[in-house]
Structure 1
Amino acid sequence: MTLRQPLLLTLLFVGAALAVVPAATDTMPLGDVRAGMRGTGVTVFQGMERSEFTAEIIGVLENSVGVRRNLILARLEGGPLAVSGVIQGMSGSPVYVDGRLIGAVSYSMGSFPKDTIAGITPIEEMLNDDTGPAPRLQPVSVPLALPLSSDSLTTLLPDRLAHPEPFALRPGDVHATGLSAADGGALGLQLRPIATPIVMTGFTEAAMDHIAPLFRSAGMVPVVGGALSAAQSLPDGPLQAGDAVGVSLVRGDLSMAGTGTVTLVDEGRVHAFGHPFYNLGAAGFPMTRAFIHGVLPSQSISSKISAVGEVLGTIDQDRATGISGRHGPGPRMVPVHVSLDSPDRGKTDTFDFEVVTDDFFTPLLTYNAVLNTLFTHSRQLGASSYVVSGEARLVDQAPVRFEEMFSGDSATILAALYISGPLTALINNGFEAVSVDSIELSITAHDDVRTASLDRVWIDDPRPRPGRTVPLRFTAKTRRGEEITRTVNFDLPANARGRLEVLVADGTTLARQERQESGRDLTATSLGQLIREMNGARRNNRLYVQLRRRDAGAVMGGRRMASLPPSVLDVLGADPSGRGFTRLRTAVVGEWNVPLDYVISGSRVLTIDLDNP
């Protein structure tokens, strides 16, 4: 992608004069805004130079998305706007009428607009929504049915993406002032928050193509960012109204940041965007200055191309009417270290970056960054295999261990999702707050498919008896037809009688069967249990052997209890608290597993009759 065209476009339209922002800003109440007024907006089209554009007030849309939620309609002119239309990255651009601030440019007509009509969020609503730093609410628990396996841990993240709503859902929702009811209703249906450009550096085209739909659904558009040259540096002084501002998400070997415009700096508070970033409420994003390389014009919707500088403070509020924060130190981020070993190529790469600390964004951004690492430094075409190990270190909790293998056409995506799944479940556990201290990952990449299917299973003892060690042998065939043979020696209990079952299965099959036998979805009852279950999750590259017998038991509070007398079962079943009671008909006498260098699939059941000599 070349920035020559956007740079030329910008330089043709932007004057050399620096837009003057009032030192002490007076605001205009919404009730004083009238159709026909002409105002002046301020934004950055090039570099760090604040430039002016004009805004002709068309009218006001009242109470369209809720009580006391209004939008000022304006037609924007000046600078590159006649060619570019409303630009992604203009969100937050302040608009003044007679030197008084009326609000922030925040909504546009969506894709392929025919006119430069924009919605302006009234400044009084932005200020009323800014409650200052506040604790985040306890997140809603993400239920995980026990026992766990990789298939349940790799499906958590995609289900948690939100979708921005249009300004109005029905024409009748809109009460228009200054224009007809029909025009107001039609505009209200078309107006949407101006998409936030997510500037990404260090990301491959393949990674961006995969990541883009996830962000677009949330009103964010990934764009290729340009880094600052060695000769360029951004001032570390406080931001002013009209400055380009960045919301940093990832920093280090990879960079990702949302960009917009500062609306107002008042009594130490910085207000921007005029619409939500992700509407998280209380937040903790690093706030940076942004440098605008130029405007990338598009018939769909144009976008600013930018780079972000050092952290100047913290964005601590992400509300429906905008984001806000304060100059000063930035928030703590989660350091992530990835070591990628490619033995087929004889090389090892290491990557260090930080992701923002947030219930939603920490798992999502870790997934994005790990996925990009794999796309960048492993096989692009054809199937691959990945062995993932490492841990997420938690504050005042045991670490969560990563240990899994993936192989096949989707291995790259599944390996990245496998990291995000436990993070999603941990941070949204519903029991107590969790703070992720750091994430350490070691990934081995192979340029081939490493899968195997269970072929034969047999007990290599003609007369297995109680108290005896019994050899269980199995063979599996790889995708290339090679045969793998392994032996598991297990002890038959000395008091065992009757028929015993030997279940041999891959991790996913075994976990699914155990969930079905429990009769209902069992979930963890404490954070400690959740961590233990994740660390003990069934693995793709292990074959599991269970020795079972028919016996009465139960699951209570997520725990399996075997060999229970009928009287105990009756008491537990009559417990009015419920606590997830389920009767079991099978008891697991013992369990063993065999690690393999392949992703294994398949299951078999053998029967041992100890009463038959």
Structure 2
Amino acid sequence: MRRLRTWRHAVKALCAAFLCCAVSFTAYAEQFMSVRDVQPGMTGYAKTVTQGTTMETFPVEILGVMKNSGPSGDLVLARFSGPLIERTGGIAQGMSGSPVYINGKLLGAVAYGWSFTNSKVGMITPIEDMVKLWNVPVKEEIRPFNARESSLVPVDTPLMASGFDTLSMNWMKEKLPQYKFLPVDTATAASDSQAQPLEAGSSVAAAFVNGDLKLGAIGTVTYVDHDHIVAFGHPFLKKGSINYFMHNAYIFTIVNNMESSFKLGSIGAEIGRIDQDRGAGIAGNYSLAPGIPVVMDVRDQDTGAHNVKRVKIIEDNEMTPVLAATSVYNTVNKTIDRLGGGTATIEYTIRSANGRDKDITRHNMYYSENNVNEKSIDELYNVLDILKHNEFIDYPVLDITSTTSISQAQKTARITEAMAAPVVASPGDTIYFKVTLHPYRGADEVKAMTFTVPKDQPLGDMVLEVRGGGVIPLPYLIERQRYNLTDEIIERLRHYKDFDELKKAIEKEDANNDLVIEVLDQNVSMIDDGKTKTSKVKLQAKEAQESPKDVLKPKKNGLHDDTDKDDQKSSIPTPYIVKGDGQLTIKIVTPEKRDRFLAAHHTLQSAKAVISAEDDDTADTADQTDKKDTDNQSDAGKNQKEKPSQDKKNIFGLY
């Protein structure tokens, strides 16, 4: 019995080996039909999947050849018929790539139709053009569609979206309107985790996102040669050399609607990569695409709901920023399970495959009365977009992690007062501030800060701005208005000398919850232009009774060394999104004059003004000094135009 079992196992192994050889030989021996051999009236069949993974066939009749009508050459005009076509109402979306056989030879893939037809007449992309995709150099560029192709409509490939909600898909479509995406909610199948080999006629998915969320297009495989495949018969997004994730696909059913039928399916196991997306179709192989891991941690402070999702997205300059932000947006939506406003705190790290010195870490807070989630993810999108399109270096992303906390509470605060001491100082001196914040429906809070006068600060009046991190200083708004500078013009005027400077600018950009003290540019006009004035916060420079002992040490936001102009700033984080701004003036004098002034006024508890620019002698009498102080107090000059403070347009293009 043992010998019999052994013999049976040997026979089975031999049969299996023979079968494998037969399959390999069949794939290798597949014969192609050339377009030059096609004649009207020829008949054949096409293969596709309409349920599960089982293939069905439908008749094909050749009507003629359309010379040079496709993106890669000729197209073959054909009529499709049979029970399957009657059941689906024509060629359904997702059937693109279905292989067409004439006289036992592979002619090509069902690929195109015309608008406003019942999709029973369409075009076939020749297989000879499709297999050329295997030999396309990675960096090669191809010509765009010509004018003759505008009347042709590729058989659409709807995006199967698993785990995404409508809001996040709409946000993605707004960011990528050129692709006219049609996301469709879909289910998962029991076989999704099982990898299966592809064959001509089987369903295949080209995915952008996989993991806890999935997003991709389902089409049909046209031809398989060992570990290489071609599919679709027309471009998906026509991105040329690309790395989509190649997946198995399971078809639930054909959905009929008024415009066009489509295959509803699930994105199954990842089995390889799609590395070409060009005029004749898509091409791939069984080596896995690297992709970018994204980890999203979201917590709802009100309900305690906590959600962690992990996905992998494709690496692409155009799509990576959108896909990462869409995934975060969706995860937040699913966690808070509500619409409307609130406060969002987001922290994220973007790690570069080029080394830790290229990594970016940011933290920010946002408040919105309508959709706080959308407002907060815009920053992540913009930062990734800047990095992927920067002019200095290629920026491959290693991974992305984000942590988001959401609350319905309005965590905002308004600056109501600022006190500074001393009001006369020398370069290198430390000035102490106490800034009063009024939180929304809360008790006033006083924040202690320090500001170090730059060592190269010119003598005379130094105008300091006290503001929230997301606010443009008022004089800058006036200057912008004076010269009619739009945000687009300002962005075009912004230049960085290298990637390191760009990286520092991104990381050091003020957060909305920062409280900032900075030197205003002396070249900015402070003159009233005669237009309508409205009230704004007036900050008075006051002499504090003593140096504060509970000063929170600020962070320095310089981009270079201590002598850089951008180092003329200090800031501290707060638990609020800080609104409001105002200016006060500090008199910068020589150390000798400073000491004489302080000696003459050591008994004063407070001073409501600073020494005027015309005063050259700080040792004048207290009466003279007080008169000058009173004349120059508040917003750095009574002639300055007053206007409501506005949120700032920062490096990310955000308000």
Query: TM-score, normalized by length of structure 1?
Result: 0.75
Mapped to 2, the partners of 1:216 and 1:324 lie a distance apart of 25
Partner of 2:213: 254
Tell me the equivalent position of 2:172.
211
SS in structure 1 of the partner of residue 347 of structure 2:
strand
Matched, 1:59 2:64: yes
1:160 maps to what in 2?
none
Of residues 363, 366, 385, the one that matches 1:406 is 366
Between the aligned residues of both structures, percent identity stands at 27
Counterparts of 1:468 and 1:216, CA distance in 2: 54
Q: From the superposition, tell whether residues 80 and 406 of structure 1 become closer, same or farther in structure 2 (CA, over 3 Å).
A: farther
- Report the Cα offset of residue 79 of structure 1: 4.0
Q: 1:329-368 residue pairs with structure 2 within 5 A? A: 329-368=287-326
- Which amino acid letter does the alignment assign opposite residue 163 of structure 2? G
Select the structure with the greater relative contact order (CA < 8 A; seq sep ≥ 6). 1
Choose from 30, 35, 41 the match for 1:25: 30
Tell me the equivalent position of 1:497: 459
Query: 1:245-287: per-residue Cα shift (whole Å, max 9, x none)?
Result: 1123222221222211001113542000111222222122222
Q: CA deviation at 1:305?
A: 1.1
Residue 481 of structure 1: CA displacement? 7.1
For the pair 1:76 / 2:80, whether they are aligned, the reply is yes
More strand by share: 1
Q: CA deviation at 1:91?
A: 1.4
Distance change (3 Å), C-alpha of 1:484 and 1:128: same
**Structure 1 segment 51-130 matched on structure 2, within 5 A:** 51-64=56-69, 69-82=73-86, 83-110=88-115, 113-130=117-134
The separation in 1 between residues aligned to 2:334 and 2:245, in whole angstroms, is 26
Alignment gaps of 5+ in structure 1 = 1-20, 138-164, 174-187, 553-557, 565-586
**1: distance between equivalents of 2:560 and 2:194?**
61
For residues 182-581 of structure 1, what are the structure 2 equivalents within 5 Å?
A: 189-212=150-173, 217-229=178-190, 232=191, 236-266=195-225, 268-327=227-286, 329-395=287-353, 396-398=355-357, 399-408=359-368, 409-459=370-420, 461=422, 469-480=430-441, 483-492=444-453, 497-510=459-472, 513=476, 521-548=493-520, 550=522
Residues 168/136 of structure 1: CA separation in 2 closer, same or farther (3 Å cut)? closer
User: What is the distance in 2 between the residues matched to 1:25 and 1:379?
Assistant: 53
Structure 2 equivalent of residue 10 of structure 1? none
Partner of 2:552: none
Helix, strand or coil for the counterpart of 2:36? helix
Q: Deviations over 1:162-205 (max 9, x none)?
A: xxx9x764xxx4xxxxxxxxxxxxxx654212222221111223
Q: Which residue of 2 aligns with 1:183?
A: none
- Post-superposition Cα deviations, 1:381-407, rounded to whole Å, max 9, x if no partner, equal 220221111311222242210211111
Cα distance in 1 for partners of 2:289, 2:473 equals: 40
Answer with 1 or 2: which has the greater Rg: 2
Contact 2:175–2:322 (Cα < 8 Å) also in 1: no
| 1:313-365 Cα deviation digits (max 9, x unpaired) | 221211121111122x3121221112112222124322222222333332222
Shift of 1:212: 4.6
- Number of the residue aligned with 1:18: none
Q: Deviations over 1:492-544 (max 9, x none)?
A: 46875211111223334449949979996233333333222221122122132
Judge conservation of contact 1:336–1:353 (CA < 8 Å) in 2: yes
**Mapped partners of 1:520, 1:203: distance in 2:** 36
Deviation digits for residues 118-173 of structure 1 (CA, Å, limit 9, x no counterpart): 22222222223432562588xxxxxxxxxxxxxxxxxxxxxxxxxxx9x764xxx4
How many angstroms does 1:117 deviate by?
2.4
Are the structure 2 counterparts of residues 452 and 105 from structure 1 closer, same or farther at C-alpha, using a change threshold of 3 Å? farther
Number of aligned residue pairs: give it.
517
Give me the whole-angstrom Cα distance separating, in 2, the residues matched to 1:472 and 1:371: 39
The 10-residue stretch of structure 1 (262-271 or 29-38) with the greater mean CA deviation from structure 2: 29-38
* C-alpha deviation, 1:593, in angstroms: 1.1
Structure 1 range deviating more: 284-293 or 212-221? 212-221
Instruction: Determine whether 1:34 maps to 2:39.
Output: yes
Q: Give the TM-score normalised by structure 2.
A: 0.71
Residue type at the aligned position of 2:412: T
Cα separation, partners in 2 of 1:233 and 1:500, compared to 1, 3 Å: closer
Residues 462 and 586 of structure 2 are in contact (CA less than 8 Å); yes or no, is this contact kept in structure 1? Answer: yes
Which amino acid letter does the alignment assign opposite residue 306 of structure 1? G
Asked whether the equivalents of residues 245 and 259 of structure 1 are also in contact (C-alpha less than 8 Å), the reply is yes
Query: Do the aligned partners of residues 448 and 217 (structure 1) sit closer, same or farther apart at CA in structure 2, a change above 3 Å counting?
Result: farther
More displaced 10-residue stretch of structure 1: 39-48 or 282-291: 282-291
Given the superposition, is the C-alpha separation of residues 480 and 74 from structure 1 closer, same or farther in structure 2, using an over 3 Å criterion? farther
| Cα distance in 2, alignment partners of residues 544 and 136 from structure 1 | 49
